[in-house]
Structures are given as C-alpha cells and as structure tokens.
Structure 1
C-alpha cells in the first residue's frame, strides 16, 4: 500500500496540520448563485449555489461500510477529519488528504442510508462539488457467468430490482407454473412485462466514456488474486470466467435491499436487467446502494450542485450470487453455511482498481479533467424520466408515474 501513500504525498501541494484545521475561505466565483425566477403565482423558489464553500475536492470516494472504507484509509494519507450533520450516525466523519484534493465518505449500507448520507453531503454549504469526480466504490455479489471473486466491475447501468410486486412461490406455482419468479413488475400481471408504473429510480445510465477510461486505467494494474482456497472455490463452478483469476470488467450493477441468492432469482434478475434497459445492460454484480446514490446525484445535478457525468461506479466481487453446480440443490447451505472466502481480495481490489482513476484525475486535472470536456458523455446519462436532460435510450414511450 505504500505506493499509494507516495502518490498522495506527490499530489498534495500544502502541508496543513491535522484537525482541528483553520483554512481561509475560498474566493467567491462570480455567477455561482442563480437569480430567483420571476413568478406571478404563489410558488416559492429557492436560489442555489454555495458561494462560501471552503472545500473543493477533485475526487470524492464513497464507501458503504467500515470494511470498504478502511482500505482507503490505509492506502491514502487522510489527515483532515470533517464532521457534517446528516451523515450516518455510525460514519459521521469525512476524511480528506492534505490539500483536500481527495475526500472519502462512508454512507452506510442500504438504500435509505446511502440516500440520506449523500443528500446531507451534497447539500452541505462547506463543499463545492460542482467539479468533483465521484468514485462509488463497494463490494458486491457476482454472477459467475460474468465475473469471479475479486473481479473489479465498472458499471454503465444501475438497475433497481426491488421495486416489484411479490407473491410467495407456494401461492403461484399451481396456478402459474410457467413463471420463473414470484416477482412481478409494477402495473403488470406477469414477470415478463415492462413495468406499467414507475417511481423513476428503476434505471440510471452513467457516462460511458468516463466509465471506459476508469476501466482502461484499472486494466493496467495487477489485481489481488486471493488465496489458494479462493481458487479452489472458484473451480467448483466449471464455467468461465468464474474459474479464472479476477479481471476488470465493464458490466452492470443491480440494487436491492433484499440480499438475494440462488439460480432462480439470478436467472430472473438477469432477464429483468435486459428488460429494463431494452437489452443494453448485462447484470454482473448485485449491491444495495447504487440506485439510491444516483438518485441523489440526479436531483443535485438539476440545480448545479454536482456534475452527474463525473460519476464512476466500481463494485468488486466478494462472493458469488448463485451456488456452484455441486450445491445447486442446496442453496440454503451454500448461502448460510459455506465459506466463500472472497471478501479479502475484493476489498484489496477496491484500491487496486480504483486508485488509477483517482491518480489520473489529479495528475491531469488542469489539462484533462477540470473542464470535463475530454470525457464528456456521448451516451444518454440520467434516470428513466430524463430528469437531467435528453431522452432515455431505455424504457417505454409512456408509463404511469406511481
């Protein structure tokens, strides 16, 4: 890990003592605040902008819980601690490097924690985040036909799969034996139809050009392969790429507070991923926070507080989301009583795969990243509503807003 601390020292431009810190207020940029629009009705309008913000990080790392946070605290020289109201009561501290160019926050696990913490962070008057690049970096389950333990995945799409009706298996198998799942998209009467009702958080599309840059940079590093025991467990799957050492993969992440596992649900959610993105996305990782986080960024983008095009979602694979063939008839034992052993190298590979992007941003800030033009998105970015502009390249022409 010492190499990362070396880079952090090189990047730092000032030697400021650890907290408590007294820093001068940054110069107010003309035009940062917006005028109140004229109104002839009784609607109240808020003006947005942070002319007195102190901190302007170039990169913000977002972890979800302690184990994901700690590799970054070990790898980088975070010397400043900042506490904000509204962060997780467990993870109430933001860590920043000497010159505040890199900061790290831990959101808390699950959709509610992620949305609450990131809302507090992005609305904080202390931070100007208009040019900040975001690395949402966490571990996840993995689809063995796409990844193996320790693999580093970079997503273009995040799909929220928990927003559905659900009927218990015992109550539909006799009447609807052809169903592959008891999940039914909202506003439909079967598992195979695009939702008729949507909340707006079902699908988010990210900047593919920036994703590809992060993926390219990560592909040049050596990932942690894990232990012999990890390799033995991978070999139980008998399929590529599960049996191979970890690699860097461009594929897509599912969000659900429901921690699912097994062949039936994986098959269903893989099909749902294709359905929700009109065949564009490929499910490879499953997590609990990303759609919630991206909803926050979508809302803040509308008022100029963040740049949605500057987000990278990294998930490293800590476990397989379906059992190997030898345990196909005992998913419960696979899930509850099997040492899958992938968390160690998945945590190490958060830094291994994520740091090259961070280093690239800081090293090439003025010439490449500050303006955002070099990696300006060519694809649609945003949610299913087109909230931040443009027309989504997934979904339907119309649906009810639930």
Structure 2
C-alpha cells in the first residue's frame, strides 16, 4: 500500500506541473496583448504655453501642435499632456518652467513604456533672453554648450571681499572663477558638436522676418551692432538658471561664467531656465539604451535682451519687458515663438522625411 504522504506529494507535483505548463501560456497571452511601444523619431521639447494649445496667443508649444499636426493626445502625469503625430512620429511635450520641471518631465517621458525613444532626436525649442553683444531680438541660436547658473556658492555683494568682482562663485572653489576648476557636477554639458553644426548649416539662411516693433526696440541698443541687425540664425551657447536675471552686470557675469565652465570654448548668447535639467535627465537615461544624449539639439530664440539699452536702468528694462504672466510681456514673443518653429521645423522635417538615413546615423556637418 502506498503511503498517503507519497500520494499527496505526487498530487502536488502533478498540480505544480500543470501550473508550470499553463502559466507561461497565460503570460504569453498577456505579453501578446500588451501594445508595442510607439516608435518616436523626434521629441519636440517646449517649456510653456499661454492659455489654450491652439487658437489663441501662442506660447512655445502652439506652433508645433498646429504646424506638425500633433493631434493624438496621451495623458501624462506632469505639467502637460503629450501630443503625437502618429504618421510622422513627432512627439510634442511641455515640461513646465525651470530645471526641476524640465528634468523630471524628461525623465518621466524617457521611462514611459508607451514610447520607443531609442532612436529619437530631442529638439528643445524655446524663447530666451539674448546678449545684445551677439544678436538681436527675434534671432535664433543653436547651442553647443549648456551651462548651469544655479549650482554655486553665494555671498551678498554688500558683504563680499572688496577685491572680488562678484559674490557668486563655483562650488569647490574659494573665490570667483577659482582655479583649478572643480570637477563638474551638472554645471556644464557639451552637446554633439557635429549635430549642432549640421542643424545650423541647414537653417542658417532661414528668413525670420522683421517688424516695426522689433526695429524700434533694437534701435535703442546703440553701440551694439549685432543687436541692431534684423533677426538672424547663429550658433551660441545657453546659460540655464532658475532665477530670471537681467542687467548689464549680470550679463557680464553670464559671459564669464560660461567661459569659465567651458574652458573658453563656449560663448554666452541665450539665457533660459531649463536646458541643463533636460540634459541631465538625458545623460542619466542614455546608459539604459532608452534615449541617446548624442541626439539632443537646443534651439533658443530671442524674445528679449538680457540687459538694458544705454540710457535705461536694469530695473526699468526688466519691468518694461516682463510685465505680464510667463511669456506674455516680452516685446518679441510672437517673433520668437514663430522663429523657433520656422527654424526648428526645418530640422524636424528633414529628419522625418529622410528617416531611413537618420534613424541609425546621426548627421554631422
């Protein structure tokens, strides 16, 4: 007679065996039922919108939503939902303003299982304050270097040593622009120089238009020949800081800060709030294979100057050009958001139309 324990043991083995046979089939069905990630060719990163996404005053996103027909909506647990053109593979996002918003939104998108971003190009397209030494409002600049303006020590200028030029100095140093320069901890990012120059060469002759408002505003900048030119496309680097700063002295700091962190290779042109946050998240995501930092491009367009014209104080200039809600008070808002789309869409269209070429090979000049 067989032991009842043996019978029970055999029964358990049989049940376990049946479970082992049936469970993979069930799992296979579940896997088969899960939708495949949507391949994305280009992610357009904007930072804010004014009012609605279409049909009213355009912020950074509206031109893209309308012009690229980003009509398929995807709920997104962040500042703004995502919009996709499923025919072209162009995905648009609005991160919210500031490096905290941009970093968290880009990280969330990079980890989103609904999208395959492994071959996607990332185009940041937003407005900025421009240095009048380099360009005029309404202009567009492709950045190769992104420098962060927040990570630092600070002493109020009224309490700093008398021989210091500023009370703001890098972490890991004992004085402004101290040497040796400390190892970066997110203060500087170098984008793909070949891709940046490719985008610039492709768009350098785009007509950005002009307007009487722009002509009147730039005429004030006597002694700044680049600030008095009609809008144009250039290469120039970006300083990202959460604080909206303005004025001649701050502009001098921005130029020195960018040169310091880039070893003199970068040239400060545009002042914004988000791009080092975007770059930091893409840097962290790249080793996972989910994204490719090497495919990041940053395009900023001038909605205002970063310092006052001769004959005005910094406070007068700031208040005149920044009187409304985010984005609404800028003298060149319409021209700047339009320029971002005119220039950026030329790059997006080129990538989409020749995807067989650019999917596996990043363009370079």
TM-score class normalised by the smaller sequence: 0.7 to 0.9
Offset of 1:154 from its aligned partner?
Answer: 0.4
Question: Is 2:358 aligned against 1:369?
Answer: yes
State how far apart, in whole Å, the 2-side matches of 1:230 and 1:68 are: 19
Q: Which of 49, 59, 68 is the aligned partner of 1:76?
A: 68
- Paired with 2:217 and 2:179, the residues of 1 have a C-alpha distance of 37
Residue 333 (1) aligns with residue 302 (2) = no
Cα deviation 1:211-233 (Å, max 9, x = unaligned): 111112222321132x2121111
Q: CA RMSD in A?
A: 2.0
Match in the other structure for 1:348: 338
* Secondary structure at 1:169 match in 2: coil
Hey, what does 1:276 align to over in structure 2?
261
Which residue is 2:55 aligned to?
Answer: none
Instruction: Give the conservation status (yes or no) of the 8 Å contact 1:233–1:340.
Output: no
How far apart, CA to CA, are the structure 2 residues paired with 1:80 and 1:195? 51
1:186 and 1:198 in contact (8 A); partners too: no
Deviations 1:198-257 (A, max 9, x none): 5621110111111111112222321132x2121111011121210011111111000100
Aligned to 1:390: none
Q: 1:2-401 residue pairs with structure 2 within 5 A? A: 53-66=36-49, 67-85=59-77, 87-88=78-79, 91=80, 93-99=81-87, 101-172=89-160, 175-176=161-162, 178-194=163-179, 197=182, 200-225=185-210, 227-238=211-222, 239-327=224-312, 330-338=313-321, 341-366=331-356, 368-375=357-364
Alpha-carbon spacing, 1:125–1:195, altered in 2? closer, same or farther (3 Å): farther
Number of residue equivalences? 317
The structure-2 alpha-carbon separation of the partners of 1:334 and 1:305, relative to structure 1 and needing over 3 Å to count, comes to same
Distance 2:130 2:298 in 1: 15
Q: Kindly state the Cα deviation for residue 195 of structure 1 after the two structures are TM-superposed.
A: 7.1
Which residue of 2 is the match for residue 43 of structure 1? none
Question: Are the aligned partners of 2:98 and 2:274 in contact in 1 as well (CA < 8 Å)?
Answer: yes
Mapped contact 1:154–1:251 kept (Cα < 8 A): yes
**Shift in alpha-carbon separation, 1:202–1:286, aligned structure 2, 3 A:** same
SS of the counterpart of 2:217?
helix
Q: For structure 1, which segment, 208-217 or 109-118, has the greater mean C-alpha deviation from structure 2 after superposition?
A: 208-217
The alignment partner of 1:302 has SS state of helix
Partner of 1:284, secondary structure, is strand
SS of equivalent residue, structure 1 residue 216: helix
Distance 1:253 1:314 in 2: 9
Q: Distance in 2 between matches of 1:340 and 1:373?
A: 35
Task: Report the TM-score when normalising by structure 1.
Answer: 0.75
SS at structure 1 position matched to 2:173: coil
TM-superposed deviation, 1:179: 2.3
Shift of 1:269: 1.7
Question: What is the rounded CA distance, in whole Å, between the counterparts of 1:114 and 1:154 in structure 2?
Answer: 19
Q: Relative to structure 2, which stretch is displaced further, 214-223 or 267-276?
A: 214-223
Structure 2 unaligned regions, length at least 5: 1-30, 50-58, 322-328
C-alpha displacement at 1:124, in angstroms?
0.5
Structure 1, unmatched stretches of 5+, are: 1-26, 29-50, 378-402
Give, in whole Å, the separation in 2 of the partners of 1:374 and 1:219.
16
Aligned to 1:39: none
Deviation at 1:190, TM superposition (A): 1.4
Counterpart Cα distance in 1 of 2:35 and 2:264: 45
**In 1: Cα distance, 2:299 partner to 2:69 partner:** 21
Superposed displacement of residue 194, structure 1: 4.4
TM-score, with length taken from structure 2: 0.83
Kindly name which structure, 1 or 2, has the bigger radius of gyration based on alpha carbons.
Answer: 2
